[in-house]
Amino acid sequence: MAQQQLSDPFECLSPTTLAMQGSGGGALSGLSFVAKDLFAVEGHTPSFGHPAWRATHAASPTTAPAIRDLLDAGADLIGLTKLDQLAYSLIGDVGEGSPPLNPTDSSLYCGGSSSGSAAAVAGDMADFALGTDTAGSVRVPAAVCGVLGIRPTHGSIPSDGILPLAPSFDVAGLFAKTVVTLGRALAVVAPGLDGPRPPVSIRIAADTFAMVDRESALLGRQVAEQLASLTGTTLEDVAFESLTDGETGDLFARLQGREIWDHHSEWVEANGHALADDVRLRLERCKQLSRDPHAVRLADLAGRREFSDRLSEAVPSGAVVVLPILPRRGPERVWTARELVEFRTECFRLTAPASLAGAPQAIWSVEGEARRSVGIGLLTAPGDDTLLLDVMALLSEESAEVGD
């Protein structure tokens, strides 16, 4: 292990970043990666997005299996990346030091909480990156920074050595610029996923595109039609409004909030004064939710099971549903605190379905107006992760042909 002297033009590396060489041979030989600074590396104290966390915790005694597996497969860890405080944001504006710069659009934050990982890939500093996703912390930055991203099936990547936010929702995820690289890295960290399968159906959640800006809606329809054509299937419309409504977002927020307080209440009570105002306010809400009666907690857990059943009807195994991730272009650096909160809340409704059901969701980035990237969500059933890679490979091949 060595301190990293890597150039950091996008200010995305953690202040105590480090580097580790891979094995020198294997499936990922010749590739480089970065990891969000909440993955354990032996002898290093992760920041969890705030110097107060580092100051109050000891160095990790071991290295997280996800990082160890990537190193064993030949990839080089070239740095550890910034994240939002406690990984509890979708914006990318509150972390250790200055917020990472968005390589694709300087007027935007990178999205959070895996802001530094997305920026490093978007800026060609690394071939791929490790992040984590609880409520969209891989999917939102991937969409904002114009790269590919995947939140795998919950539990498919070992959680050992990864600082938790809300464990029943947390999952390690990946960023890359190419489908090939994304697939190679995922195969190393999640070798137990099912093999490729042909899609049974391509579906579009057209009612959710009514919630977003016009450009995203047009591009989402275009992606869905391309996939239907490429797979030789008929594009089906699926109702998703009741799966992305305000109650869905509220249910997720309640469940997530209680888990956060269960895991971090002691540290927050002692150190919360050092956190950013918006993070501290959300944690106060978590504290209030922790006081809910047992019957209320049980009702929300039952609501999650019922939601998962409804989602499985809309997204059966073998189906890919196209839907938006971002409500509009953003998050802009000039937005007020209120505007950022509104953006986060709107994202919540679109990212909650995969989080509640533990389902895999990928981000396919396409070029929109003024050469700006727009991230489109691809959702499938738990365990169908390789199906997402298959359909993105088809889209990638078509993009290459168009470019030729």
| Domains in the chain: ranges and CATH | 2-246+298-403 (3.90.1300.10), 247-297 (no CATH)
Taking residues 35-61, what's their average pLDDT? 98
Paired with 162 in beta bridges are 39
In the residue annotation, 89 being an active-site residue is answered as no
Task: Provide the token pair at 330.
Answer: 């953003």
Contacts of 250 (CB under 8 A, 6+ apart): none
Catalytic option among 36, 115, 117, 373: 36
287 pLDDT higher than 60: yes
pLDDT at residue number 368: 84
1 pLDDT higher than 90: no
Catalytic option among 32, 89, 113, 216: 113
Task: Provide the token pair at 51.
Answer: 């110097």
Task: Provide the token pair at 112.
Answer: 């959070």
In the residue annotation, 137 being an active-site residue is answered as yes
In the residue annotation, 32 being an active-site residue is answered as no
Q: How many C-beta neighbours within 10 Å does residue 129 have?
A: 32
pTM, two decimal places: 0.96
pLDDT at residue number 6: 81
Could you read off the pLDDT of 219-240 as tens digits, one per residue?
999 999 999 999 999 999 999 9
Q: Round the average pLDDT of the chain to a whole number and report it.
A: 95
pLDDT at residue number 401: 58
- State percent of the chain over pLDDT 70: 97
pLDDT at residue number 335: 98
pLDDT range class, residue 200, cuts 50, 70, 90: confident
pLDDT at residue number 168: 98
Using CB atoms within 10 A of its CB, is residue 145 exposed (0-12), middle (13-18) or buried (19+)? buried
Catalytic option among 115, 137, 156, 216: 137
Which residue stretches of 190-293 are H helix?
A: 206-209, 214-231, 246-271, 277-290
